[in-house]
Amino acid sequence: MIAIERDFNAYLDQVDVITVLLPYSYFQGTSNVFRLKGEGVDLPLAIQEKVLLEDAIKYICLSSIRPELGKIYVIWDEHGGQTDLQIGAVIRTEEFDSLFFYGGDDLGVSYKPEKTLFKLWAPTATKIRLRLFKEDDQNPELIDMNRIDKGVWSIELAGNLELYRYSFLVCINLEWREAVDPYATALTVNGEYGVVIDPAKAKVPIIDAPKLKRPVDAIIYEAHIRDLTMHPNSGAVRKGTYLGAAEMETKSPMGLETGLSYIKNLGITHLELLPFHDFEGVDELKPARDYNWGYNPVHYNVPDGSYASDSGDPYNRIMELKQLISAIHSQGMGVIMDVVYNHVYIREDSPFEKVVPGYFFRHDVHGLPSNGTGVGNDIASERMMARKFIVDSVIFWLNEYQVDGFRFDLMGIFDIETMTAVRKAVNSISTDILIIGEGWDLNTPLPSDRKANILNQGKLTGIGQFNDWFRDSIKGSTFNIYDKGYALGNDRYLEAAKQVMAGSIGIGKRKQGLFLQPGQSVNYIESHDNHTLWDKLKISDPDQNEAILKKQHRLATSMVLLAQGIPFLHSGQEFSGRKKELATATDLQMK
């Protein structure tokens, strides 16, 4: 790799537009000539516009050729100064998507006992090396990969590479960065490296779950894998793990059913599990030390190792999660997977950002990362390869782990086309799969008519939305703890209660409802976020007799179950205020 000392900076912002920034400290920021040089190329750039900035002059230049991504170019000015041509905003253009969309289904690792194929989509890279090594190998092998069509880099290696560790060294803008494979399906402890596994050895027979004729036949129960068994009275032996949650016929010291048996007897059809794809926040070597819900996603196609009995064995977490799913199915319940594709834990550390900087994340008009999620980054689902990753990942979990539904965290960040593509892809496998999401209207730089939010539910056929109108009408405002809803005795919400009990589709004088059909409405009054209903009752009416509070709690929960739509219960919601009496089947509300 050549070394170039930068006297100024230049960026490819469109396929044929180059932006040059000359600081005032460099010849007062002036130059009348710029040339583009590279292999077989030495051409003048046509200066189209000069823009005076606070600390530099910006020259917008037109190139008579389209610089080829993946090759190194140098920009020279009239003073003899130079810089490499860096990848700029071109990656966020429709032309880039059109040129480099790759529709293949073989990104990541394709393993066979006699050979393994590695593929990575990285169109802006000028060089990529595969780092490959056995466990505890102090001298990893570095293998140059080959650039093929659509910005994909590939290498096929002979021999049995099962359990080899790997990562990618990617050179972009003359800088090397190391990244884990975004499509990795197995990891070392804490996700430091991808691992080559034999998919045949990761198979676990999974019992089929019962199928529903209609989404409104579902009753969803939200829980956390660790919390299902961590309480001292849970009766589970392997507390806080996939296998612990899979234990059958567990009981508390008082002889009360706990765990899956307890949940089954509630009449639940689907157990929705908080995120179990690989996340940050818990050291997999010391899983009992920290607690995390799982909304810090890092690697999307691998189960988190903090719930595994042996996080050091790449197969272990995979097989134990499959055993849990099979156990849930055996109790006649489906599994809904809470997926967090809307953001990553830390953008700069994400494999997406390391492999194709700037592409997978949405940016505002100033070129800064947008923050509609509130955690510092928004996935740019409208870009073709970001959309493809989301669809590919959903289908992977559906085929490999046989989950029965998906709950999309902050779905309002996504675009309608992506969620429609997800529904279509899922339907090609099974139309019985539930897809629900949080369709909040979030402040992300996407046109309003393209957002997959509750306001555009008419364009999101077959996708349920968490109904905050129902929540706030029955319980009271989530964001005003003292606001009481209809079930708490506030008859000001009477008409709203009638509407939401009828599926929020519009009845009586209200011609237009929130939804077109009840199957789009996920009715709930509490979830893992914000106050539980019981806490709200106690805070908003602290002097009320507890017997009355319990009746209000029972009424609100009954309305969730009886309303038209899809009922959603938060784990422990059914306890009301009687935690001590019931000993507990989950620990979600007892943290």
Q: How far apart, in whole angstroms, are the C-alpha atoms of residue 536 and residue 478?
A: 9
- Is pLDDT above 50 for 586? no
- Is pLDDT above 90 for 187? yes
Average pLDDT score over the chain: 95
DSSP 451: B
Q: Which of 87, 154, 152 is nearest to 123 (CA)?
A: 152
175 is a catalytic site residue: no
Give the tens place of pLDDT for each residue, 451-472: 999 999 999 999 999 999 999 9
Q: How far apart, in whole angstroms, are the C-alpha atoms of residue 379 and residue 353?
A: 11
Give the tens place of pLDDT for each residue, 292-329: 999 999 999 999 999 999 999 999 999 999 999 999 99
The pLDDT, as a whole number, for residue 5 is: 85
409 is a catalytic site residue: yes
With bands split at pLDDT 50, 70 and 90, how would you rate the model's confidence at 2?
low
- Is pLDDT above 90 for 245? yes
301's enclosing H/E stretch is: strand 297-303
Lowest mean pLDDT among 100-109, 151-160, 189-198, 205-214: 205-214
Mean pLDDT along residues 400-415: 98
Give the tens place of pLDDT for each residue, 263-294: 999 999 999 999 999 999 999 999 999 999 99
Q: Which of 163, 157, 85 is nearest to 124 (CA)?
A: 85
Give the tens place of pLDDT for each residue, 547-560: 999 999 999 999 99
Mean pLDDT along residues 514-520: 95
- Is pLDDT above 90 for 247? yes
Please state, as a whole number, how many other Cβ atoms lie within 10 Å of the Cβ of residue 296: 19
Q: What is the CA 408 to chain-centroid distance, rounded?
A: 8
Task: Return the CA Rg of the chain.
Answer: 27
The SS3 assignment for 146 reads strand
The pLDDT, as a whole number, for residue 583 is: 37
Query: Which pair of structure tokens corresponds to residue 133?
Result: 């090594």
Give the tens place of pLDDT for each residue, 68-84: 999 999 999 999 999 99
The pLDDT, as a whole number, for residue 4 is: 82
Name the catalytic one among 272, 284, 409, 587. 409
Name the catalytic one among 13, 227, 438, 587. 438
With bands split at pLDDT 50, 70 and 90, how would you rate the model's confidence at 577?
low
The pLDDT, as a whole number, for residue 136 is: 81
Q: How far apart, in whole angstroms, are the C-alpha atoms of residue 55 and residue 59?
A: 13
C-alpha angle 120-123-125 in degrees, rounded to nearest 5? 85
Mean pLDDT along residues 101-110: 98
With bands split at pLDDT 50, 70 and 90, how would you rate the model's confidence at 576?
confident
194's enclosing H/E stretch is: strand 194-195
Q: How far apart, in whole angstroms, are the C-alpha atoms of residue 243 and residue 264?
A: 17
Q: Which of 210, 211, 218, 209 is nearest to 464 (CA)?
A: 218
The SS3 assignment for 363 reads strand
The residues with which 59 forms a beta bridge, in sequence order, are 20, 50
Mean pLDDT along residues 168-176: 97
Domains of the chain from N-terminus onward: 9-87 (2.60.40.2320), 97-179 (2.60.40.10), 221-582 (3.20.20.80)
The pLDDT, as a whole number, for residue 578 is: 57
Q: How far apart, in whole angstroms, are the C-alpha atoms of residue 438 and residue 51?
A: 42
- Is pLDDT above 50 for 154? yes
Q: Which of 406, 352, 342 is nearest to 374 (CA)?
A: 342
Give the tens place of pLDDT for each residue, 208-219: 999 998 999 999
DSSP 511: -
Query: Which pair of structure tokens corresponds to residue 303?
Result: 């189960």
Give the tens place of pLDDT for each residue, 342-395: 999 999 999 999 999 999 999 998 889 999 999 999 999 999 999 999 999 999
With bands split at pLDDT 50, 70 and 90, how would you rate the model's confidence at 580?
very low
With bands split at pLDDT 50, 70 and 90, how would you rate the model's confidence at 88?
very high
With bands split at pLDDT 50, 70 and 90, how would you rate the model's confidence at 581?
very low
Percent of the chain scored above 90 by pLDDT?
94
Q: Annotate 270-287 with DSSP letters as a single string.
A: EEEEPP-EEESSS-TTST
- Is pLDDT above 80 for 174? yes
Please state, as a whole number, how many other Cβ atoms lie within 10 Å of the Cβ of residue 89: 16
Contact between 45 and 65 under an 8 Å Cβ cutoff? The reply is: no
Mean pLDDT along residues 415-433: 97
With bands split at pLDDT 50, 70 and 90, how would you rate the model's confidence at 495?
very high
- Is pLDDT above 60 for 588? no
